[in-house]
Amino acid sequence: MNAPLVQMSSVTKHFGARQVLDRLDWQVAPGQVIGLLGRNGAGKSTLLECMLGLREVDGGTVSMFGEDAAALSDGARARIGYVPQKSDLFDWLTPLQMLEYFQAMYPRWNKGKVEGLLSRWGFDPYKRNSPIKKLSGGEQQRLSIIRALAHDPDLLILDEPVSALDPVGRRDFLRELVDQVIERGTTVVFSTHILSDLERVAFDLAFLKDGRIALQGQTDALLEGARRVVAAPHALPAGRLQGELRRSYEGPLTSVIVQADYAQLAQLAGKPGVRIETLSLEDLFIEMTREG
């Protein structure tokens, strides 16, 4: 089995008295395409920044490509593409000047890809030679994505990459991600609140809650097996159900989220007062990230 590209072990991060990451363990294997999900403020951006060595952790270890993430070699850094949540472009430069600056840092810079993306994504000669600060938010986000894709990275980290894009821009980006990035075996970690986008591109999902990865698995398997069992307490067996993920109480009823054990569910479905519901990705997101 190939060694993980990313290994996070017992990672802890505080901001003042607030604990954002709590002894978090996580691995990202070569070729995985993982959608990272969590509520606003759950710590997704902090997790990704710690993964990349952009934030110092308070405890635990992080490695990428077998190296300490806080002291990556130039060769390892050249294998990473990163689109931050907030644009970090040099906005006094023009797009062409900015791309030429970064080209010098990456031996695998793909000029043909850059030219193709600039043309397809609406960067005419005027926009290519105008200061970045004069571009719209969506255009700046497209430019940030082009910079991240230009050197054909082995690991692509995307933190809310389409938040400023309109539906056409999101469609174009997702097509590029699927056709030109995922198809070549690039490992991708993709944080977004647009669940429909994740369903289109993410093979795996990871849910961040209370500073830890609460659930991870293949997207199709998670959605195919996720069920909500709603019943009066006396209709449920003692103890936890097989595959139980979360239990809550809705007035006199108990609601249990499970990864389906079909034999068990068949037995429960035959009892009076038991209701079994399938879950959409939105349902699963709400249940797995709910407070309490």
- Pair type for strands 274-278 and 226-231: antiparallel
Q: DSSP code of 238?
A: S
Q: Is there a single domain that holds both residue 117 and residue 168?
A: yes
Q: Is residue 220 part of a domain?
A: no
Query: Residue 207: is its pLDDT beyond 90?
Result: yes
Bridge partners (DSSP) of residue 190 are 35, 158
Number of Cα atoms under 13 Å in the Cβ half of residue 154: 15
Which 3 state secondary structure label does DSSP give 127?
helix
Instruction: Give pLDDT, residue 1.
Output: 53
Do 24 and 47 meet the contact criterion of CB atoms below 8 Å apart? yes
Q: Is there a single domain that holds both residue 196 and residue 233?
A: no
Q: Averaged over 3-22, what is the pLDDT?
A: 94
Tell me, yes or no, if the pTM score tops 0.85: yes
Q: Is residue 236 part of a domain?
A: yes
Q: Taking Cα atoms as reference points, which of 82, 101, 79, 81 lies closest to residue 90?
A: 101
Number of Cα atoms under 13 Å in the Cβ half of residue 29: 8
Domain boundary among 210, 244, 260: 210
Q: Is there a single domain that holds both residue 251 and residue 143?
A: no
Q: Is residue 44 part of a domain?
A: yes
**C-alpha–C-alpha distance, residues 288 and 285, integer Å:** 5
Bridge partners (DSSP) of residue 212 are 209
Domain boundary among 156, 185, 210: 210
Q: Is there a single domain that holds both residue 278 and residue 194?
A: no
Q: Is there a single domain that holds both residue 36 and residue 97?
A: yes
Q: Is there a single domain that holds both residue 255 and residue 177?
A: no
Query: Residue 65: is its pLDDT beyond 70?
Result: yes
Q: Is there a single domain that holds both residue 262 and residue 135?
A: no
Query: Which phi and psi angles does 287 have, rounded to 5°?
Result: -70, -40
Domain boundary among 142, 175, 210: 210
Q: Is there a single domain that holds both residue 232 and residue 284?
A: yes
pLDDT band with cut points at 50, 70 and 90 for residue 292: low
Q: Is residue 219 part of a domain?
A: no
Task: Dig out the tokens for 38 from the structure.
Answer: 């969590």
Q: Is there a single domain that holds both residue 127 and residue 244?
A: no
Q: Is there a single domain that holds both residue 241 and residue 284?
A: yes
Query: What is the span of the domain harbouring residue 240?
Result: 226-289
**C-alpha–C-alpha distance, residues 237 and 160, integer Å:** 42
Q: Is residue 198 part of a domain?
A: yes
Rg, C-alpha atoms of the chain: 22
State the residue for tokens 């449920």. Answer: 236
Q: Is residue 221 part of a domain?
A: no
Instruction: Give pLDDT, residue 5.
Output: 94
Q: Averaged over 31-57, what is the pLDDT?
A: 93
Question: Over pLDDT 70: what percentage of the chain?
Answer: 99
Q: Is residue 283 part of a domain?
A: yes
Number of Cα atoms under 13 Å in the Cβ half of residue 130: 12
Q: Is there a single domain that holds both residue 240 and residue 202?
A: no
Instruction: Give pLDDT, residue 43.
Output: 93
Q: Is residue 95 part of a domain?
A: yes
Instruction: Give pLDDT, residue 264.
Output: 80
Q: Give me the CATH number covering residue 20.
A: 3.40.50.300
Query: Residue 169: is its pLDDT beyond 90?
Result: no
**C-alpha–C-alpha distance, residues 273 and 243, integer Å:** 21
**C-alpha–C-alpha distance, residues 265 and 22, integer Å:** 33
Instruction: Give pLDDT, residue 198.
Output: 82
Q: Is there a single domain that holds both residue 156 and residue 262?
A: no
Q: Number of folded domains in the chain?
A: 2
Q: How far is CA 72 from the centre of its chain?
A: 22
Instruction: Give pLDDT, residue 167.
Output: 84
